[in-house]
Structure 1
């Protein structure tokens, strides 16, 4: 089934079943897109009395009585965020460093995946470049991914690899250790996706566009069905055209996502959501592996596909959620959520493993047969808003439970003995299809239980103290079977109390200074299926973080500055022996600065920088070395400028961005580095009324200079995305 079958195209069945059903939609989308683009320069063929009248374009007045949180009108500033178990909180009042990417910014930059959506967040490094098999990120020098428990949806831990952007209201990046909020996670941080919720006002938008050579259509509907019942619906269909500016790679996608809010009583709200998403990535870009004595060559032409046609990935998720919020009385509020997810996953990728200085290579092929993961989640929180003398308390007590049951995920992987002549800057080659030899097979059942309490104490108008803690527990049972059928079962049963403290001072409403201390339990390293010591389980450990920060609102800008110091266990994969190890400590300290908003009436900016000093301490090897895959400096800036209105450019906005990443160590010994890279983006956005409808056109060119570059993680080299052009039109009806 899936990639376990020796088929040239492991995803062909899905295309056959569903391709015919949506092909007519794509043809309609292409025609509609062309029509929208030509409309501003075409005459109106209207009713008989107006047949000679030309089409009149006027500047769109999008301003409403109050601009939406995170909207372009507000410079993408977000006032309220989801702070996990603590619920919705004002961003400026949180004693943590948090970056946000609003839904408007995702749409206006035409991001189609998490890597693109986070490209201007100054604290995030995308280790895996343009590869979309499994995205990995680095925050504060630590790895963040689904496998490190650094992903959440609506404040609940998330186990999906692929996330569509079209049903997301915003993405919130909580930088640094967060075990106090989410239990067992790495100290990198948490990337939380907030789903679009029903709207009180009528919302009807249709977007059609092209991402590289892929045509897609997206319908976003919302509004009130009755006085107490509101809805939201998002539907996406995309064809399998080439994506990422890369030859032959395609990613067919669909999404059906809905939500209902029922205001049962003035004090009780019932929330429902359900979604089905699927992507089929075909002809994935190859990965590359080198050694210290070979070095790192200059990156080849990234628009060429160095992978094999039979590679790719399939990810699908069915998700159902229900939530209830009720105000019991003037003091107590009850919040609860439950979610069921079925996650389907398979992949097949290949790597060039270089053998010598001529870059002769062997092919390594890795695959995971199609398997299901069932996730059942529940949380319950009781909030108390009360006073004790001059002190005001917002107290939260709650429990979360995540049950993860992964089916038999048969892994196949091998490095073939045939040596191919090196031709990295010439023509692409790939080995003929054959099923990889049988490898390990793993099933896993894991339960995460977290008890949390937090007391946020307001002392007068200027001081707030938070005292909290989490008792996190993991119960894990993993069964592995090798190619000979021998079975090994490992058990993991640990728990730890993680305290958290903070103090905030607000001399004026627009300025907050804070200091915080957080500890976080982490599950010990489990060597991956591709490591020489696959399945080895290391001891759990506790990371410790100190943070000082300032948050300010100045004019139309939100500014944030944070200093942090983190101690964590050192984990790495020896690139020579391919053995995963956990030895010594990793010390990461540094500065983060971010800014978002309207600097002037017409100029919008979002971006910032990270300056990190990370090193290995008290380890048997690589003392004072920078952990592999960790850049110590990053700077990013996205800008929009609304041109002054005139007959020719009314409603026109210039857009662009720049990002810089310092050189990144390829290995733990710091013998080789991936070169630093600076990337430029540019674009236009045009707003007008066409046929009495508000319309928006967007043109984006990513990697304007078509620069070829590497990114890296765990000794693997990934190609960045080449120059990519995106074009879309949105009509409100």
Structure 2
């Protein structure tokens, strides 16, 4: 960034200031409780800094809203206030301190992949949702999100067909009753951005929310010459049609353009895994990058029919556009000379139509209180692309990991196979939650999930192949919860989940091969407690699933045997003392392959066996919610990660440190807040990995922002 731009940003930051006053916190309305469908008065919001980022209410898909500490599932939350105060600009950064999440793809922003409980979570494995509805786009802006919820483990009962990793659910910001006006100006590395957040009442019964974002093309993620331009237009309306009926609308347009993307790396067992090079150096070519654009429109209705029955319905339409060019550097010898490979997907267009309808009944029979839900969800996914292109250059270009970098001149790779896909996901769900007094709750439920998929591929020579399967399965779920005292919940649960069979990726030797669907089974026992102002959670789990891997020697994707994953998760969020806020936890995982023709007893590739994460804030004496200085910092530890399915090579363990501060003041009768964040404080170079690919992490990155409430 030029000195001029730095001066402009600094001047505007001082002039405008920034406010973490919590008019944004007022954005979160109390959950719409069954039988109390209404717009409620704004209060101190879930997840605010004053509450230690604790969240009380979360979404449970078709079950609606529920109290986090009462749910019989392991769930982590990242509030919008925490996202803003850590200055996270993408999902990878927002989930940095969630102890159950491993980011496989490091600082790569083309396609993020995560690991939860040892299983892959991504758009392609159907582990993403927005407001409880399945999500199909890769890029998600953070600026219009109220919070992110991470439901750990198998959840077919709630979301139908997904991998047993869990669900990452983005909750959108909703309209506010009181006037909200905030403007944030900031820099992320050398990228300047502005974000406007507006909300309030148009009439007594009509409220609005508007989020606008524009960022320039400055260098991002601390990587030389890698730039990303982003914009977002997001709006929402809540109309209280009657005391018992609420109509909700939301619409958004988002786009990001990533240019000169960091390269990916390939190695072999014979060559080994070298020490990570300088991560600030861009090993990619100027013509690599990605474009992701999404138009989304949704409508929802919640109404109380009478004293017993309530109805909930939603519909959403999305159009998703995507294209990318990325390069892989493949080491050819122990001197770490490398060959180039260019992969591209020129155009990938997707239309998504989604609907759901749920009927809730709240009634009692003697000493038992019943909450019964029955419903239907439908997701229709229609996609087409212009053909995958890929080229491996035979020539070793003047590129070496410890020498000069070079790249081939741009030539369009030869056209590969184009595909079109039409998929319909349908689920029928029922759930009966029975409360026995104020101590016991039993849940019995199930989902009939069906996938109807038709995929057509056309080779570069015009050969067309169509595959289709239509499978369905019933997935039961049971749980029991006991509250010995109001602040403690002990629970046990059992969930099954249907998964769509793996499809071999475009870069794999058996590209396009479709594997049969399968069922995963999960047992979980947990304990949740609120001690003072801290929310604590401890869970033990055992999951059986089909084993999937990519052979790094043959590049063949396979589905063989079982994967058995069991382990412990601990998380804590809240104010340990009046001045000290903590959020983080620890995961210990024992993941093994069982009854497979190969790799018996091995840990699946790309799965760390332990992770520890902690983020802390300390308010200096004299600080209040509207003024004062807060010191911030964090540390994350990830144990070594197997690079290949046979566990011959490992990516080294890594410990990363972050630091920062936040200053609040009232200037000219306006609440303002300045934030400074430094991630990877020691500028440590490290690798992450998935499917035999090596990804570089993020180098030291400095972020500065200023918000004013006006």
TM bracket (short chain): over 0.9
Distance 1:98 1:591 in 2: 13
Distance 1:155 1:170 in 2: 12
Say if 1:29 and 1:83 are closer, same or farther in 2 by CA, change over 3 A: farther
CA-CA distance at 1:525 after TM superposition: 1.1
Give SS of 1:489's match: strand
CA-CA distance at 1:29 after TM superposition: 11
Distance 2:12 2:150 in 1: 38
Distance 1:619 1:337 in 2: 43
- TM-score, length-scaled by structure 2: 0.95
Distance 2:119 2:386 in 1: 27
Distance 1:388 1:574 in 2: 57
**Matching of residues 251-290 of structure 1 within 5 Å:** 251-290=228-267
**Matching of residues 127-526 of structure 1 within 5 Å:** 127-526=104-503
Of 259-268 and 528-537, deviating more is 528-537
Distance 1:263 1:690 in 2: 36
Where does residue 504 of structure 2 map in the other structure?
Answer: 527
Equivalent pair of 1:651/1:687 in contact (CA under 8 Å): yes
Where does residue 703 of structure 1 map in the other structure?
Answer: 680
Matched, 1:77 2:54: yes
Distance 2:127 2:386 in 1: 22
Equivalent pair of 2:19/2:708 in contact (CA under 8 Å): no
CA-CA distance at 1:28 after TM superposition: 10
Deviations 1:634-689 (A, max 9, x none): 00000000000289x96100000000000000000000000000000000100001
Say if 1:316 and 1:360 are closer, same or farther in 2 by CA, change over 3 A: same
Distance 1:309 1:470 in 2: 48
Where does residue 645 of structure 2 map in the other structure?
Answer: 668
Of 147-156 and 429-438, deviating more is 429-438
Give SS of 2:387's match: strand
CA-CA distance at 1:426 after TM superposition: 3.1
Equivalent pair of 2:613/2:635 in contact (CA under 8 Å): yes
- TM-score, length-scaled by structure 1: 0.92
Equivalent pair of 2:19/2:671 in contact (CA under 8 Å): no
Say if 1:344 and 1:39 are closer, same or farther in 2 by CA, change over 3 A: closer
RMSD after superposition: 1.8
Give SS of 2:417's match: strand
Give SS of 2:484's match: strand
Where does residue 653 of structure 1 map in the other structure?
Answer: 630
Deviations 1:351-371 (A, max 9, x none): 101111111211011000123
Give SS of 1:81's match: strand
Equivalent pair of 1:33/1:208 in contact (CA under 8 Å): no
Distance 1:407 1:557 in 2: 48
Matched, 1:731 2:708: yes
Equivalent pair of 1:440/1:480 in contact (CA under 8 Å): yes
**Matching of residues 541-580 of structure 1 within 5 Å:** 541-580=518-557
Distance 1:181 1:646 in 2: 43
Give SS of 1:92's match: helix
Would you say how many aligned residue pairs link Structure 1 and Structure 2? 690
Equivalent pair of 1:207/1:217 in contact (CA under 8 Å): yes
Give SS of 1:453's match: strand
CA-CA distance at 1:415 after TM superposition: 1.1
Q: Segments of 4+ in structure 1 off by > 4 A?
A: 27-30, 57-66
Structure 2 alignment gaps of length 5 or more: 27-41
**Matching of residues 623-638 of structure 1 within 5 Å:** 623-638=600-615
Distance 2:16 2:559 in 1: 61
Aligned mate of 2:95, from 118, 122, 130: 118
Where does residue 33 of structure 2 map in the other structure?
Answer: none
Give SS of 2:14's match: helix
Give SS of 2:158's match: helix
Distance 2:404 2:206 in 1: 59
CA-CA distance at 1:36 after TM superposition: 2.8
Give SS of 1:508's match: coil
Distance 1:517 1:197 in 2: 33
